[in-house]
Amino acid sequence: MIAALALAVAVAALTGHTLVNALAWLRRPATGPAEVDEPVAVLLPLRDEAERVTPCLRALLAQRGVPDLRIVVLDDGSTDGTADVVRAVAGDDPRVTLLTGVAPPPGWLGKPHACWQLATRTGPEPAVLAFVDADVVLTPYAVAAAVTELRAADAALLSPYPRIVVRTVGDRLVQPLLQWLWLTFLPLRAMERSRRPSLAAAGGQFLVVDRAGYLRAGGHAAVADKVLEDIELARAVKRAGGRIALADGSRLASCRMYDTWPQLRDGYTKSLWATFGHPTAAAAVLALLVALYVAPPLLAVGALLAGAPAVAAVAFLAYLAGVAGRVVSARATGGRAWPDALGHPVSVVVLGWLTVRSYHLRKRRRLTWRGRPVT
């Protein structure tokens, strides 16, 4: 009974923290008409994105509220005709510039190098840089709203997290954990106020930076070899004295990250080892997650079969508290709550498996992404 009570109290406390973050501390940029009077460059790195870039680029061309807007696209060694698609969609729009990227030199990973090429080949005029991935589709005032929120937060980096589009069972099990983890375990207000680089989070799908603050932090050159270049860039900004902020961008942008389970599996596998760092830390975190979110329903069933209904009831309440945390996270970030939240213990188990796979393949030096080695 004591163990069941402890689990219930711990999970309820974490769900309470999720609720506080969602209601009090999570920034929500305005979605209506907005206008900025400073030059902005949207930077779009592409590698073999011929099948995905059209909706993204059309949404960028439809942006409003940014009179001085440039869209700079980098074709990063694509072999599927990505550049031709960009030319066909952009036509002769003078706001669009298509650059041809060069292969990353030793010590650089592909994504940071592509972003750095964009940032340094855009010209000195833009005061704000907005990095967007090819799988992101923005609403018409998304860039204007994000830049407005960046300035309101007095931040050098703003990460407006898009709404993650889920369609398959794998999507629904794994993708909601992204928002749930930082809403549940990250103190958002402290993250904004603290100067500690370790207290940082960001999502690279849609990232808005003050150009001066970005360059002062070293830009993507400071995170050249980092798999999680978005989080590491946020830490670099903090080390340089800048502020960072997270925002709910679910009403500004949507993102379909992976089309198939193998893509999702490999996408998480390439980076989870970097998320946790040392394997011992990963084991400790996963053990905690299993104890808090997987053990309660198992304990409830076991106690019921053993004739201990009181213990089973308390353990079941702990499970429901975990489900409630997933519901709060989904509601706060435009995600799908029901019935997906009921499978939260299964989601945690899948996350654990993906993490073990990530460390295993990294140890064997078999991690790759888009045809390039990751480690």
- What's the pTM? 0.92
Contacts of residue 296, defined as CB under 8 A and 6 or more positions apart, other chains included, come to 4, 7, 8, 11, 315, 316, 318, 319, 322, 345
- For strands 136-138 and 244-255, give the pairing: antiparallel
**Under 8 Å between Cβ of 270 and 369:** yes
From residue 284, how far is each of 141, 157, 277, 293, 297 by CA, in Å?
A: 42, 30, 11, 14, 21
pLDDT score, position 375: 64
Give the side-chain half-sphere CA count within 13 A for 92: 0
Given phi > 0 = left and psi -120 to 50 = alpha, else beta, which region is 254?
beta
Residue 273 pLDDT: 84
pLDDT score recorded for residue 252:
95
pLDDT at 116: 97
Q: Is 107 left (phi over 0), alpha (psi -120 to 50) or beta?
A: left
Per-residue tens of pLDDT for the chain, all 375 residues:
777 788 889 999 999 999 999 988 889 998 888 899 999 999 999 999 999 999 999 999 999 999 999 999 999 999 999 999 999 999 999 999 999 999 999 999 999 999 999 999 998 899 999 999 999 999 999 999 999 999 999 999 999 999 999 889 999 999 999 899 999 998 988 888 888 898 888 988 999 999 999 999 999 999 999 989 999 999 999 999 999 999 999 999 999 988 899 999 998 998 888 888 889 999 999 999 999 999 999 999 998 888 888 889 999 999 999 999 999 999 999 888 889 999 999 999 999 999 999 999 988 877 776 666 776
